[in-house]
């Protein structure tokens, strides 16, 4: 009979997340030998390993990837059992790991997290900000409970829920020749010098779709942050498609000019990501309720 303890499951989950027994032991306030023993005993009971060692790090093998969401669910259910059994049904605690693509993480973090954090002050929210492709990958690896991204995601293991409408705008410095034209046409962009986001970014994908509707130009810079692109445009290094929410301050202060481009399709949806195999306990459901109430 298998008799795996919650502590062994905790070690398994944290080693899967962090890639090493030492890091998992530090997080769980265990000695490294105690954590190694807990993992070894779990693998003994399962009659086989759940990790493969690659370049000094532990990576889940096929069996481990299959067991990880079940282990996470058992731990979450165990915590809920204790919370409800102890009479604290309304006092959520624990940790919630959320991933956000750059526009959301840098400019809409208050909308995304504010209501939840205020309603549940005992929950530690860990936010990872990266591009859409990397957030989707982390969701598939069970490194995050939830994601919020600005680009389209299509994977059979991920559920995508619309969250917000969003838009890009084409920006230039105020003294750029295009900023002085009153009625822009697509042909006015012939030979334009563009500053773009890095590949894998949703902003990059939408920008490329818009650029495909314009005469050929030149990509002069690729940067991985909207703020860096904004500063490059302000400095006159080129023009760019940027999230509207990211340029409000610079436009209002006169450092940037938004071009009127009704011939370009620059609308998009921001979306919440959920893993279809992951148990949606009280923390995730409370977050979804909070995010949904913002629509």
CA dist., res. 166 & res. 214, Å (int)? 22
Decide if pLDDT at 56 tops 90.
no
Global pTM reads 0.80
Q: Domain 166-268 falls in which CATH fold?
A: D-Maltodextrin-Binding Protein; domain 2 (3.40.190)
What pLDDT was estimated at residue 293? 46
Please, where in the chain does CATH 3.40.190.10 lie? 94-164+270-293, 166-268
Length of the chain: 295
Please, which residues bridge with residue 270 across strands? 164
Please, where in the chain does CATH 1.10.10.10 lie? 6-86
Q: CB–CB of 150/132 below 8 Å?
A: yes
Q: CB–CB of 203/197 below 8 Å?
A: yes
CATH fit for domain 6-86, picks 3.90.950.20, 1.10.1040.10, 3.40.50.2300, 1.10.10.10: 1.10.10.10
User: What would be the CATH architecture of the domain defined by 94-164+270-293?
Assistant: 3-Layer(aba) Sandwich (3.40)
What pLDDT was estimated at residue 89? 57
CA dist., res. 4 & res. 53, Å (int)? 22
Run of H or E including 72: helix 62-85
Q: What is the pLDDT of residues 206-229, one digit of tens each?
A: 999 999 999 999 999 999 889 999
Average pLDDT score over residue span 139-151 = 90
Q: Measured between alpha carbons, how far is residue 227 from residues 14, 15, 191, 243, 249 in Å?
A: 33, 35, 24, 10, 11
Q: What is the pLDDT of residues 86-95, one digit of tens each?
A: 765 567 888 8
Burial of 258 (0-12, 13-18, 19+ CB in 10 A): middle
């Amino acid at each position: 009979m298998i008799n795996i303890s919650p502590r062994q499951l905790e070690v398994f989950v944290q080693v899967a997340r962090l890639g090493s027994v030492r890091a998992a032991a530090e997080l769980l306030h265990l000695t490294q030998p105690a954590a190694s023993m807990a993992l070894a005993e779990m693998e003994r009971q399962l009659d086989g390993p759940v990790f493969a060692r690659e370049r000094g790090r532990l990576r889940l093998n096929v069996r481990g990837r299959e067991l990880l969401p079940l282990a996470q669910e058992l731990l979450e259910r165990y915590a809920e059992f204790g919370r409800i059994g102890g009479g604290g049904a309304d006092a959520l605690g624990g940790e919630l790991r959320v991933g956000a693509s750059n526009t959301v993480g840098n400019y809409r973090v208050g909308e995304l997290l504010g209501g939840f954090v205020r309603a549940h002050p005992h929950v530690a929210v860990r936010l990872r900000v990266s591009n859409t492709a990397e957030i989707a990958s982390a969701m598939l690896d069970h490194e995050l409970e939830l994601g919020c991204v600005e680009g389209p995601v299509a994977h059979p293991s991920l559920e995508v829920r619309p969250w917000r409408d969003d838009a890009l705008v084409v920006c230039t410095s105020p003294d750029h020749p295009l900023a002085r034209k009153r009625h822009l046409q697509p042909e006015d962009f012939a030979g334009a010098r563009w500053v773009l986001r890095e590949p894998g970014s949703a902003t990059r994908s939408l920008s490329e779709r818009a650029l495909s509707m314009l005469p050929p130009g030149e990509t002069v810079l690729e940067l991985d942050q909207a703020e860096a692109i904004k500063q490059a445009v302000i400095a006159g290094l080129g023009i760019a498609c940027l999230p509207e929410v990211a340029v409000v301050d610079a436009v209002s202060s006169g450092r940037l000019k938004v071009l009127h481009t009704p011939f370009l399709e620059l609308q998009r949806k921001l979306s919440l990501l959920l893993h279809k195999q992951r148990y949606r306990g009280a923390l995730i459901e409370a977050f979804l309720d909070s995010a949904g109430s913002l629509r």
